[in-house]
Amino acid sequence: MRDIGVLPDSVRVHGVLHDSRVNGPGRRAVVHLQGCTLGCPGCFNPETHDAHGGRVVGVAALADELLSRAPEGVTVSGGEPFQQLEGLTALLTRLRPRVESLLVFSGYSLEELQALPGAGLALELLDVVVAGRYVVGERRPGAFAASANQRIHCLTDKHSPEAFGAGGVEISILPDGRIVMTGFPDAALRRAVRSLGEGGATS
């Protein structure tokens, strides 16, 4: 696994969403990090794969942006967050004392993450990790995890597995006019929304 971050105190970001209720329990801020080499066929977020895309943001500024509307929790998705391990760990460290709940979506299994040198601190800072490759043949419409092989690991006692029963879809129109979907929309909905304009990341 290679770290595609820019500097230890920065991350490459695809986009930020506020006030989401489909990316974990409660009202959450969501950041999609940019860059992923896993190449899962049928990935929902192909626009987040390019390691040179997005924008480079300092961890302190990103934390302030995520917390600007006092969310109950923060969700980090991608791209692949653990391919920016130093920046991810710095971000989680800054967020941990200021937010109730931290959740990360990763394409790696929990076992892979536990074996990844240096990932232990990031895992210690998290309440939940949703882990595993996306497998298009095991897709689960309406579920919180995108495919049946993926596992929701509650790493603290803040949440129980029952809190992640059903997923959902949110569609937002950003101030610059972009239409952004988050959640796991089906193919027909994705086509319909993208026909209205260039969409942002889904998670």
pLDDT digits (tens, 9 = 90+) for 106-137: 999 999 999 999 999 999 999 999 999 999 89
Burial class (CB in 10 A: 0-12, 13-18, 19+), 113: buried
- Asked whether residue 23 is domain-assigned, the answer is yes
Q: Is the backbone of residue 79 left (phi > 0), alpha (psi -120 to 50) or beta?
A: left
E strand or H helix at 125, and its extent?
Answer: helix 120-125
**CATH number of the domain that residue 14 is part of:** 3.20.20.70
User: Distance between CA 113 and CA 122 in Å, rounded?
Assistant: 10
Burial class (CB in 10 A: 0-12, 13-18, 19+), 103: buried
- Asked whether residue 59 is domain-assigned, the answer is yes
Which SS3 state, helix, strand or coil, does residue 164 take?
helix
pTM of the model: 0.85
- Asked whether residue 116 is domain-assigned, the answer is yes
Instruction: Answer with the residue of higher pLDDT: 119 or 141.
Output: 119
Closest to 136 in 3D by CA, of 41, 37, 38, 203: 41
- Domain with 42, as residue range(s), is 10-167
Whether pLDDT at 199 is above 50: no
CA distances (Å), 124 to each of 39, 55, 92, 146, in order?
A: 27, 27, 10, 24
Number of domains observed in the structure of the chain: 1
User: Are 126 and 103 in contact, with CB atoms under 8 Å apart?
Assistant: yes
Q: Which residues contact 164 (CB under 8 A, 6 or more apart)?
A: 24, 25, 128, 144, 145, 152
The pLDDT value recorded for residue 191 is 63
- Asked whether residue 62 is domain-assigned, the answer is yes
- DSSP letter (8 states) at residue 190: H
The overall average pLDDT reported for the chain is 87
In the structure encoding, which two tokens stand for residue 45, read together?
A: 């977020």
The pLDDT value recorded for residue 190 is 57
- Asked whether residue 155 is domain-assigned, the answer is yes
- Asked whether residue 189 is domain-assigned, the answer is no
- Asked whether residue 200 is domain-assigned, the answer is no
- Asked whether residue 86 is domain-assigned, the answer is yes
The pLDDT value recorded for residue 12 is 97
The pLDDT value recorded for residue 108 is 98
